[in-house]
Amino acid sequence: ATILILNGPNLNLLGRREPALYGRETLEDIAAACRARGETLGFAIDFRQSNLEGELVEWIQATHTDVRGIILNAAAYTHTSVAIPDALRAVGLPVIEVHLSNVFAREPFRHHSYVSPVAAGVIAGLGGQGYVLALDAMARLVETEAA
């Protein structure tokens, strides 16, 4: 079983990008932590990043039968995209939304998410740790769905 972890625009710059907000951890560091946790939980981790909305949509559409859930940090597209939540609705897999920063402590335009209505839950403000927490939660969700 595989968990797909998708990252949106500018998250490839993590570690160098506004470190006061987003920390010094790189996206590769977060991917490594997720793969390690995945191994413990018995999931393969498919960890990806794109700066293009359409590419994220195509990856969501292309989820094969081995994918049991999607963890998504849509980054800025969280606040603008209708196509991403539409694709998530179309595939019907459990979704957990993650943000490194506490979006609710930031500018008002970051308080609204088009992804949240499709998500089982949201984790924000805990940095890279949020991805690992989301994986733990996803393991439970997937178990519940299979039961």
Binding residues (CB under 6 A) for ligand DQA: these are 10, 73, 75-76, 78, 99-101, 103, 110
Residue 111 CB contacts under 8 Å (≥ 6 apart), including other chains: 103, 104
CA distance 48 to 61: 14
79 annotated as a binding-site residue: yes
Distances (CA, A) of 68 to 14, 43, 114: 27, 9, 22
Query: Please, are residues 91 and 100 in contact by the beta-carbon 8 Å criterion?
Result: no
Q: List the catalytic residues.
A: 22, 99
Query: Please, are residues 70 and 95 in contact by the beta-carbon 8 Å criterion?
Result: yes
Closer Cβ to ligand DQA, 7 or 142, answer by number? 7
Report the interhelical angle of 83-91 vs 53-61 (nearest 10°).
10
Q: Which residue has the tokens 């609705």?
A: 89
Give the shortest CB-131-to-ligand DQA separation in angstroms: 10
Give the shortest CB-42-to-ligand DQA separation in angstroms: 27
136 annotated as a binding-site residue: no
Closer Cβ to ligand DQA, 40 or 112, answer by number? 112
Give the shortest CB-100-to-ligand DQA separation in angstroms: 4
DSSP state of 9: T
Closer Cβ to ligand DQA, 3 or 142, answer by number? 3
110 annotated as a binding-site residue: yes
Give the shortest CB-13-to-ligand DQA separation in angstroms: 9
81 annotated as a binding-site residue: no
Known binding-site positions for substrate: 73, 79, 86, 100-101, 110
Known binding-site positions: 73, 79, 86, 100-101, 110
